[in-house]
Amino acid sequence: MNLNDLRDNEGARPSRKRVGRGIGSGKGKTGGRGVKGQKSRSGVAIKGYEGGQMPLYRRLPKRGFNNIFAKDLNIVSLGRVQTAIDAGKLDAKKPIDAAALAAAGVIRRVKDGVRVLADGELTTKKVSFEVAGASKSAAEKIEKAGGTLTVLAPKAPAE
């Protein structure tokens, strides 16, 4: 097979219908819009209109809100950190922070920080964490294993 033999499947890119270009095209005169009425005219936007009845989006109650100050944290379990240490991706002697976890492939990208949860066991001794938050049980497990936990102060919002 050569590059010049590559083709799209038949019908994968249909050509655009040229509407309103004479009776012979099959889409002339009314251009596929039917005859008369509001929808045959231009500038029609009647998507949410229900003929005067109270529309669905107004019948339903409003609920909740979107907190613009909420922190978007990466959640990492102790078991996942231990797996990365065992695999040699994380160095237990250096502090474990968001950048180290991202470099090891434990998290995809550094968001507003990392929160550690207590799922799994931490068997490595003297691991120091520098994270945005941790659950109480995760903090207890880290200290029980002889490690340290530093909760970083939240970053001030950029103005």
- Cβ atoms of 102 and 69 within 8 Å: the answer is no
Task: Supply the pLDDT for residue 5.
Answer: 94
Query: Nearest-CA neighbor of 78 among 111, 119, 127?
Result: 119
DSSP class per residue in 37-70? SGGGSSS---TT--TTSPPHHHHSPP-----TT-
Phi, psi of 154 (to 5 degrees): -65, 145
In terms of pLDDT, which residue wins out, 156 or 51?
A: 51
Q: Note the pLDDT of residue 159.
A: 58
**HSE value, Cβ hemisphere, 13 Å, CA-based, for 148:** 7
All domains in the chain, ordered by first residue: 20-63 (no CATH), 74-151 (3.100.10.10)
The average pLDDT across 14-30 equals: 91
Share of the chain above pLDDT 70, in %: 97
114-117 and 148-151 as β-strands: parallel, antiparallel, unpaired?
unpaired
**Residue 99, CA distances (Å) to 54, 72, 89, 112 in order:** 52, 16, 13, 11
Residue-wise pLDDT for 65-111, tens only, equals 999 999 999 999 999 999 999 999 999 899 999 999 999 999 999 99
Backbone angles phi, psi at 95, to 5 degrees: -65, 140
List, for residues 134-156, the tens digit of each pLDDT value. 999 999 999 999 999 999 887 66
- Tell me the C-alpha distance between 29 and 140, whole Å: 77
